[in-house]
Amino acid sequence: MLLGLIRPSQGSIHLFGKDLKKEKLNILRKVGSLVEYPSNYGHLTAVQNLEAIRRILDVPKSRIDEVLDIVQLTKEAKRPVKGYSLGMKQRLGIASALLGSPELLILDEPTNGLDPAGIHEIRELIRSMPKQHGITVLVSSHLLSEVEQMAGTVGIIREGVMVFQDTIHNLQQQAAGGFQLKVSNPQEALQLIHAEGYSGELNKGALMLTKMSDQQIANVIKRLVDNHHDIYRVEENRKSLEDIFMQVIGQGGIL
């Protein structure tokens, strides 16, 4: 919808402060995109594929070599694309998205169907975009671990409504849950902790403590040791992005 492929049933879209309806061409000129799987003309070489797009974008021919260099396809550039691996096609797709020197790059499921090496390759490529070329990258993906490794800011959309948007750092802060302590005598230990003024509860014989600072946790442990409790384990209960995702989605009450 951001690219004008589908019309919004209501509302308007503004990119770069411009209305998509009125200035679609000006906006599209500044946006590079790779929608779903990469599409290309199999009987043509990478260079010819890019040339076909270059003619439409009307950018200098030198851009072709530049983008091929960015995605490291220069060596394979003269081969027909139908012989490419999926990873190479994906890189070619990113190359064509970069051809018009966009300010915004929209990638839909960029690592879909790739092998681990390919995923790593594409991920590194995407992460280098903002740093090396100053391009904002918008990635949509259902692979949460991928998002966790790539994104700076995440948004979660549920049934067409943005239910969450924040930086990944803040999200991980939220994700950092409490601590779990396994001790020799949980009951007494819990009383001790309550006496110290911390909140906690018992869960399957383990002490669950809410989030606290390093200093606080050190203090709790010191107190437990001083009172002759044996501490078997201290674990941090870090929620994965998936848990948070499920939590955010679940709040809609649909599940």
Partner 1 sequence: MSSMLRVLSAERLKMSRSYMVLLMFISPILAFIIGLLSEVGDTPQPWIALLGSLSMLHAMLFMPIMSGIFAAFICRYEHAGGGWKQLLVLPVTRTGVYVAKFTVIALLLAMMQLLFLAAIVILGFIKGIHDPFPWDIFARSIIGGWVACLPLAALQLAVSLMWNSFAAPLALNVMLTIPNMLVINSATYGPYYPWAQPFLATLPGESTIYGNDPFGAFNLPFESLMITVVGSFIVFFTAGWLYFRRKEV
Q: How far is the CB of 100 from partner 1 (least distance, A)?
A: 8
Counting contacts by CB under 8 A, is residue 25 touching partner 1? Answer: yes
Counting contacts by CB under 8 A, is residue 102 touching partner 1? Answer: no
Counting contacts by CB under 8 A, is residue 43 touching partner 1? Answer: yes
Please identify which of the residues 51, 109, 148, 188 carries the catalytic annotation: 109
Question: Any catalytic annotation for residue 109?
Answer: yes
Which residue from 16, 21, 36, 167 is in contact with partner 1, where contact means CB under 8 A? 36
Q: How far is the CB of 21 from partner 1 (least distance, A)?
A: 13
Q: How far is the CB of 58 from partner 1 (least distance, A)?
A: 6
- Is 18 exposed, middle or buried (CB count within 10 Å of its CB: 0-12, 13-18, 19+)? middle
Counting contacts by CB under 8 A, is residue 230 touching partner 1? Answer: no
Q: How far is the CB of 93 from partner 1 (least distance, A)?
A: 8
Q: Which residues contact 5 (CB under 8 A, 6 or more apart)?
A: 35
Counting contacts by CB under 8 A, is residue 55 touching partner 1? Answer: yes
Q: In the structure encoding, which two tokens stand for residue 3, read together?
A: 């690219």
Q: What is the dihedral of CA 187, 188, 192, 194, to 10 degrees?
A: 30
Counting contacts by CB under 8 A, is residue 90 touching partner 1? Answer: no
Which residue from 33, 46, 87, 241 is in contact with partner 1, where contact means CB under 8 A? 33
Please work out the total of residues on this chain that contact partner 1, with binding judged by CB under 8 A: 33
Q: Please identify, among the stretches 25-33, 111-119, 156-164, 244-252, the one whose residues bind partner 1 according to the rule CB under 8 A.
A: 25-33
Q: Which is nearer to partner 1, 40 or 192 (CB)?
A: 40
Which residue from 15, 20, 46, 53 is in contact with partner 1, where contact means CB under 8 A? 53
Distance CA 33, CA 74 (A): 21
**CA neighbor of 168 nearest in space, from 150, 188, 195, 141:** 150
Q: Which is nearer to partner 1, 28 or 137 (CB)?
A: 28
| Residue numbers at the binding site for partner 1 (CB under 8 A) | 3-7, 25-26, 28-29, 31, 33, 35-44, 48, 51-53, 55-58, 80, 93, 96, 100
- The catalytic residues are 109
